[in-house]
Amino acid sequence: MIDKQQQSNNLLVGANASESGINQSWQQDNQAWWDWYVTLADNTDQQGHGELLQLPPIPNIGMSSDRDIKDELTKPYDLKEDHCLAFRRDGSIKLPKVLSLGAVARLRHELVQLLKKRFNVSNDGRNDNRFLSLEMMWLENPIIRNYVLSPRIAKISADLLGVKSVRLYHDNVLAKEPGCGRTPWHCDDHHFPLATDAVVTAWIPAQSIPTAMGPLAFAKPLSIFELVKDIEFNKFDTSYDKQVTEAFKSNNVLVDDGPFAIGEVSFHHNRSFHTAASNKTTRTRIVLANTFFADGARVIDEPTMVSGDWQKFIPGVGPGEIAASELNPVCWPANIEGNV
């Protein structure tokens, strides 16, 4: 196996990265971006934990039908004003029962099949302790299209942000395989080349996520962004991740790293700092992440390599232009016939 740091350097050379900055564009695909990015996480405290935890079988839950999924994902969620206030204070929120058990079971089934097809893996994803990524699956799979363009999920996102209309930036299937290490501390503002703070990601687990599997963990409140905003990003090693970790520890920052129940979905703001521990179980942690932004937002003037393959997600739109390509449909208010 290639040494992780050497792999990182190789990827950066392939991306035509300069020695001094990140201001060039990323030249490879999204999976190569993730292969590089996970090398920036400090795994010192994650080592030496012995054998992977054998989880009990996933409950045999009947999968929702196509019609049931479409109906469920168009119905509004009972979002409270307290939810919106908590999100705007903390930058993140976990909401229970956004999806039914049958909808989660169907989501996992579809995502596992996509991962097997793309990466030629078995046992629902395990390949080399990697962090696997698929994006824009709504264009390939009509069932996943329902989850990505869901008026139910998009309306939650718009209401949490306090905006009238949201567009899709992209969907991302994220599979953290057994033994895969940490995801580094980051906020998505570094990754989305959008000139707005009205951006939210719906993180939709395709199974329950116990603590040992590495659930997404959020630093609270949202204002802690100011605490670490001046830490310089380093594209070659784990120093950025270490410095953010130390800043949070020394300032007693609250971190919500609790497990996810089946059907629970988190929503996080683009300036919400978050991470995830390593997957210490024998089961791949599979998630669908949908990112939405306020309609009318523009692309920033100077996207960087940390923005990844952004032109794939907003084709035909240049820096400074309104992000409204054909791949960025308005998901709320919903055009039911056109979007789902």
Q: Name all domains of the chain by residue range, CATH numbers in brackets.
A: 4-47+64-339 (2.60.120.620)
In the chain, % of residues over pLDDT 70: 87
- Reference 245, options 48, 47, 45; nearest CA is 45
pLDDT at 222: 98
pLDDT at 17: 39
pLDDT at 227: 97
The answer to whether the Cα torsion of 262, 339, 313, 294 is positive or negative is negative
pLDDT at 123: 64
Query: For the residues 95-101, what does the mean pLDDT come to?
Result: 98
pLDDT above 60: residue 149: yes
pLDDT at 212: 97
Q: Say which range, 107-111, 122-126, 287-291, has the weakest mean pLDDT.
A: 122-126
| Centroid of chain to Cα 16 | 26
The answer to whether the bond into 184 is cis (omega within 30° of 0) is no
Distance from C-alpha of 114 to C-alpha of 160, rounded to nearest angstrom = 30
pLDDT above 90: residue 5: no
Segment 31-82, tens digit of pLDDT: 888 898 899 999 987 655 578 999 999 888 999 999 999 999 999 999 999 9
258's tokens: 């609790």
pLDDT above 70: residue 258: yes
The answer to whether the Cα torsion of 36, 42, 44, 47 is positive or negative is negative
Query: For the residues 288-316, what does the mean pLDDT come to?
Result: 91
pLDDT above 90: residue 323: yes
pLDDT above 90: residue 308: no
The answer to whether the bond into 221 is cis (omega within 30° of 0) is yes
Confidence at 183, pLDDT banded by 50, 70, 90: very high
236's tokens: 């070659």
pLDDT at 190: 79
pLDDT at 23: 59
Between residues 128 and 7, the one the model is more confident about: 128
Distance from C-alpha of 199 to C-alpha of 159, rounded to nearest angstrom = 12
pLDDT at 185: 97
pLDDT at 3: 43
pLDDT at 126: 67
Segment 224-239, tens digit of pLDDT: 999 999 999 888 999 9
Segment 12-38, tens digit of pLDDT: 433 343 444 555 666 777 788 889 889
Q: 167 forms bridges with which residues in the sheet?
A: 293, 330
Q: Say which range, 1-10, 183-192, 251-260, has the weakest mean pLDDT.
A: 1-10
Between residues 28 and 315, the one the model is more confident about: 315
pLDDT at 32: 86
